[in-house]
Amino acid sequence: MADEPSRWQQRIAGEWHGRPSLFDSTGTWCGFEDIRRSSTFADGVTTYRMDGGLVGGGPLAGQFKLAAPFEFGVVDSDANRVYTGPDFYGTGQPYGSFVDAHYYGPGWQVDLNTWNQVLPDGQTQVYSSVLYQGWAVVGCFNGVYTRSDDEAHIAAFLDAETRRGPVPYILPTKQAGVFEGECELWGADQKPRGTVDVSLALEPIDLLRTRRTVSWGERTFTTDARRDGNRLFFEGPQAWGNAIGFGRASFGSWHFTDVVKVRSREFAIDSDSGMSSRGRLAVVYEIFHGNVLDSVLHGVITWRPTA
């Protein structure tokens, strides 16, 4: 047993409130999950709890409605967090204020890949769980959580999440601009490599196509992104790949002409029911050399119009 909690456990201590949305495998919004999440460290033992219920859900409701609160033990570590059941089994790897976790939920009967990103304010989490049956995606939960004792703040936050949850990931289509900010870079060895300036510049071509120029460190590349509903297709000239949106979160992959490829999540934190998403993007880019993870880049980038 550890004498004190890990740095990650200290980041997420206490109770978090959220209203993540449930999407089916096509990205169709199905309902909300009213959730209170907490984790405690006591007598050298870490326990994670999740209490709430699903509102709506459509055909997925029978599978994902909670019949009882979830609870599972955690072997707490900043190297590997091991989830010991009974409600979830698997592992998670922290990279600073971001954790990439893979585990199985016997009650939901799905494998989950959860990305949990604590924002620089320390009181906000951007969360997603992509749900799998074998290698096939069957759904996704995602949303934003807040940690607060202020009931008025919590009520206003949940009201905003109710509006924002179903909003699709659509970046500005008629206004050029750039999302930019300073992000954390971590090695696959979970050691910090410092901070990196990240930018995502948008040059609209028409309502469905945008030229994207992405830059971090020594890498800059341009690709034309074509949108088809909630799907994106990256069609060169310097990167190829695709993405699918589950509400405000777009999950993508980029392939280059060298050995580098990227697995990404871009989450429109402030997206509301307007015509396009502005404000802030919470980004996570997992950077691979061949099939081997090299580094994890994550943080918040903020919109600035350029024309």
Residue 2 lies in a domain: no
Q: Indicate whether 118 and 210 sit together in one domain.
A: no
Residue 170 lies in a domain: no
Give per-residue pLDDT as tens, 78-113: 999 999 999 999 999 999 999 999 999 999 999 999
Q: Indicate whether 121 and 253 sit together in one domain.
A: no
pLDDT score for 66: 75
Q: Indicate whether 92 and 211 sit together in one domain.
A: no
Does the pLDDT at position 2 exceed 70?
no
- What confidence tier does 275 reach under pLDDT thresholds 50, 70, 90? low
- What confidence tier does 1 reach under pLDDT thresholds 50, 70, 90? low
Average pLDDT over residues 109-133: 97
Q: Indicate whether 187 and 76 sit together in one domain.
A: no
In the chain, the number of structural domains is 2
What number of CA atoms fall less than 13 Å from residue 64's CA on the CB side?
Answer: 29
Does the pLDDT at position 4 exceed 90?
no
Q: Indicate whether 18 and 65 sit together in one domain.
A: yes
User: Last residue of a domain, which of 164, 190, 218?
Assistant: 164
Three-state secondary structure string covering the chain: CCCCCCHHHHHHCEEEEECCEEEECCCCEEEEEEEEEEEEEECCEEEEEEEEEEEECHHHHHHHCCCCCEEEEEECCCCCEEEEEECCEEEEEEECCEEEEEEEECCCCEEEEEEEEECCCCCEEEEEEEEEECCEEEEEEEEEEECCCCHHHHHHHHHHHHHHCCCCCCCCCCCCEEEEEEEEEEECCCCEEEEEEEEEEEEEEECCEEEEEEEECCEEEEEEEEEECCEEEEEEECCEEEEEEECCEEEEEEECCCCEEEEEEEEECCCCCCCCCCCEEEEEEEEEECCEEEEEEEEEEEEEECC
Residue 267 lies in a domain: yes
- What confidence tier does 252 reach under pLDDT thresholds 50, 70, 90? very high
pLDDT score for 273: 73
Residue 1 lies in a domain: no
Q: Indicate whether 156 and 212 sit together in one domain.
A: no
Dihedral over Cα of 62, 64, 65, 68: its sign: positive
Residue 274 lies in a domain: yes
pLDDT score for 63: 92
Give per-residue pLDDT as tens, 14-72: 899 999 999 999 999 999 998 888 888 877 778 888 888 899 999 999 999 877 888 88
| pTM higher than 0.85 | yes
Q: Indicate whether 160 and 183 sit together in one domain.
A: no
Q: Indicate whether 115 and 87 sit together in one domain.
A: yes
Q: Indicate whether 105 and 182 sit together in one domain.
A: no
Which region among 57-61, 224-228, 264-268, 295-299 has the lowest average model confidence (pLDDT)? 57-61
Which region among 1-10, 129-138, 208-217, 246-255 has the lowest average model confidence (pLDDT)? 1-10
Residue 134 lies in a domain: yes
- Full residue range of the structural domain in which residue 51 is found: 7-164
* Percentage of residues of the chain with pLDDT beyond 70: 98
Q: Indicate whether 261 and 232 sit together in one domain.
A: yes
CATH code for position 19: 2.40.128.20
Residue 13 lies in a domain: yes
Residue 169 lies in a domain: no
Give per-residue pLDDT as tens, 138-160: 999 999 999 999 999 999 999 99
